[in-house]
Structure formats: structure tokens, C-alpha cells
Amino acid sequence: MKNETLAPVVISSNDLLTQWQGHRSLTRRVIEAFPEDKLFSYSVGGMRPFSELALEMIHMAVPSVAGIITGEWKTFGESEAEEKPTTKAGLLKLWDESTEKLNELFPQIKLERFQEIEKAFGQYEGTNHSLIFYCIDNEIHHRGQGYVYLRSLGIEPPFFWERQ
């Protein structure tokens, strides 16, 4: 569905990407803060280990932007890496590759695509910009779980406001 007239812009596409990448930078530091032996196994209250939460973020980011660009949506998880990393270095490598791919793809989103309504991954209907906000909100939510894990391990997490 296409909007014929676009409302005035409050934030530019570039500023939105900068905001998202600031969150990704902070989440990367949370991954780094985990001890190697706890990143893949530690959880609180039955929640998933932080490595699984980070993989979910990875599997949402680039596929969401690619879908917004092309209008073609795979089933969620279809584009996931075949092998899950088993080391912090491997997880950080995937994180960094995803971050670079976002930098490459995001500027390719045509402005009118942000306002268009689609059914992302065949299940989430809404505007494309709302999907981007969902990806950011989901990351913040799961990063908060990581903060709880780190604090329960006696580790001071990075300051949440430092997103460079």
C-alpha cells in the first residue's frame, strides 16, 4: 500500500540508522562483558542465554531491512546462519558482519517505503518504519535481560547511555 503524500520528516533515515547503530554498539559491549563460559549457558528464571538473544537480534536486523528494500519477505529464521557460534569471538564476528550489512543496506531504503504497510516475515503487519522500531525495541528489551544476567554474575554492565 502506497501513501501518495508523505508527512513532514521528524528524523532522517540516516539519523534513524545512527540511533539503531548506537544501540547495536552498546549491545556489542554487553556481549563482550559476558565471561566466555556464561554467554552460551547462563540464564535467569528460565530465560534464554544471552547468546541466543543476540542471535535473535542478528536474525531480525538485516532480514528486516532487506525485506523493506525489496518487498520480499522470507519466513522468520529462514535466513539464519546454519551453524550457531559456540564462542564469544564467533558471535561477535556475526554481530559485526550484521552491523556492516546494515550500514550497507539501510541507505537503500527508499523514503516512501518507510510508510508502506507490509506483512513482514509473513506474520507482522504494519508500516515498515514500525518494523524498524520493533527491531530496536526488541534489542533494548533483550539487552535489558543481558544487564540482569551480568548483574546477577557480579559484573557491572556498560552504561546504557553510552551508545557510540
Please, are residues 154 and 141 in contact by the beta-carbon 8 Å criterion? no
Please, are residues 36 and 90 in contact by the beta-carbon 8 Å criterion? no
Q: Does the annotation flag 142 for ligand binding?
A: yes
How are beta strands 124-127 and 117-120 bridged, if at all?
A: antiparallel
118 beta partners = 126
Please, are residues 67 and 125 in contact by the beta-carbon 8 Å criterion? no
Which helix or strand (DSSP H or E) is residue 127 part of? strand 124-127
Point out the annotated binding site for a divalent metal cation: 142
Point out the annotated binding site: 142
